[in-house]
Amino acid sequence: MSRLRVYDQREPARPLGTLFDHAMIEHALDEVGVRFERWEASKPIAPGASQDEVIAAYHDDIERLKHEKGYRAVDVISLTADHPQKDALRQKFLSEHTHSEDEVRFFVAGQGQFTLHIGERIYDVLCEKGDLIGVPDGTRHWFDMGPNPHFVAIRLFTNPEGWVAKFTGENIAERFPRLEN
């Protein structure tokens, strides 16, 4: 189940509020400029489907976003708990960073936790199968795939080379809850 927890940046132990209703999460995130949507596949996707098959199943939504936001590149990333570099990959994204373009992820399967630092608030978003999140460029955030990652996600980029993280050097991410599957 998707979830949004909102914190004051000075109070990592106690959320100001928690939402589970998708429409309410979408509304709360929209108020701070973050896209949050639900997508459904146009046809069934078999486990182990190719990148082309996954993208084809969400073709209409992908094309809508490409037209609306100017995204030019699309790919699929998959990570499982048996990946030999899962710990290093998890650690790589746990520090607060920004990007010079939007970070857009659609979860075809599994889950991931995006934590956004906007103003004096922390927006902790648990994304699950069917969720799309669009983190605007320049937004301070971090991502946690958990100690036993399991996800398949579609990524959309403006720059065909993909995005590059610019780390803020702040340790704020260390003070907030992580994804523990």
pLDDT tens-place string over residues 88-142: 999 999 999 999 999 999 999 999 999 999 999 999 999 999 999 999 999 999 9
The one-character DSSP state at 94 is S
- As given in the structure block, the two tokens for residue 64 are 């809508």
- Across 70-98, b (16+ Cβ under 10 Å) vs e yields ebeebebebbeeebeebeeebeebbbbbb
Question: Which whole-number Å values give the CA distances from 107 to 40, 135, 177, in the listed order?
Answer: 11, 14, 21
CATH superfamily, domain at 3-167: Jelly Rolls (2.60.120.10)
Q: Which of 108, 142, 111 is nearest to 128 (CA)?
A: 111
Mean pLDDT for the stretch of residues 145-170: 90
CA–CA separation, 3 and 163 (whole Å) = 26
Residue pair 135/103 in contact (Cβ under 8 Å)? The answer is: yes
Percent over 70 (pLDDT), the chain: 98
**Dihedral of the alpha carbons of 41, 43, 44, 47, in degrees to the nearest 10:** -70
For residue 174, pLDDT over 70 is answered with yes
Mean pLDDT, residues 17-28 taken together: 98
Confidence of residue 21 (pLDDT cuts 50, 70, 90): very high
Q: What is the pLDDT of residue 145?
A: 96
pLDDT for res 162: 62
Q: What are the percentages of helix, strand and coil residues in the chain, rounded to 5?
A: 20, 35, 45
Which residues are CB-neighbours of 26 under 8 A, at least 6 positions away? 36, 37
77: which strand partners? 153
Which candidate, 134, 124, 131, places its Cα nearest to that of 179? 124
